[in-house]
Amino acid sequence: MARDGAPVVHEVDDAIFTRRYFGRCLRCTFCEDACCEHGVDVSVVERDRILARADEIQPRVNVRPDAWFAPVITKDHDFPGGATTRTAVVNGRCVFHNRETRGCLLHGLSLESNTDYHELKPMVSALFPVTFGEGALVCSEELAEGSLVCAGDGPTAYAMARSELAYYFGDALVSELDRLAR
């Protein structure tokens, strides 16, 4: 079970141990943050944490907080709070994409304010390209189908997501995943 109570993982797709991608995003010079093109799923709990800091975030985003998320809320037991929404897409990127440099504004703001980025950045973003659904850890759709621009070379999806999985799910799950990876 993840630290916020969801998701609960009881299955792992072996593809997280074999699918590879560039994975060194800070050194990337070719993708232009293509993974940010569609926005990201956000639990209602995460949405509320982000909105609680709207005064800090809004000047960087230049979009009103009431336009940051899709208006549709979907019940989903895999997400904390039992429901999810999605970040808005503005000019072809997630509303929280840093258009001045690159990467996630929420992550950058957290680093600048010396706070843990997990408090703002959605879990789906932090785990990417590992994701979850129906009680399973799986590769993101983009990595699974091969449309992720940086797919192919580099570390495995698991290797790159390992520390995030430890943060969200704990060392016991990561120890078991390490065993499976071997």
- How does pLDDT run across 23-78, given as a tens digit for each residue? 555 554 555 665 567 899 999 999 999 999 999 999 999 899 999 999 989 999 99
The residue ranking higher by pLDDT, 32 or 113, is: 113
Residues 6 or more apart from 177 whose CB is under 8 A from it? 12, 137, 158, 162, 165
Residue 28 pLDDT: 47
Compute the average pLDDT of residues 164-172: 96
- To the question of pTM greater than 0.75 for the whole model, the response is yes
pLDDT for 55 equals 95
pLDDT band of residue 6 (cuts 50, 70, 90) is: very high
In whole angstroms, give the CA distance from residue 109 to residue 58: 11
Q: Mean pLDDT, to the nearest integer, of 160-167?
A: 95
Identify the DSSP state of 5: S
> Going by DSSP bridges, is the β-strand pair 20-21/151-156 parallel, antiparallel, or unpaired?
antiparallel
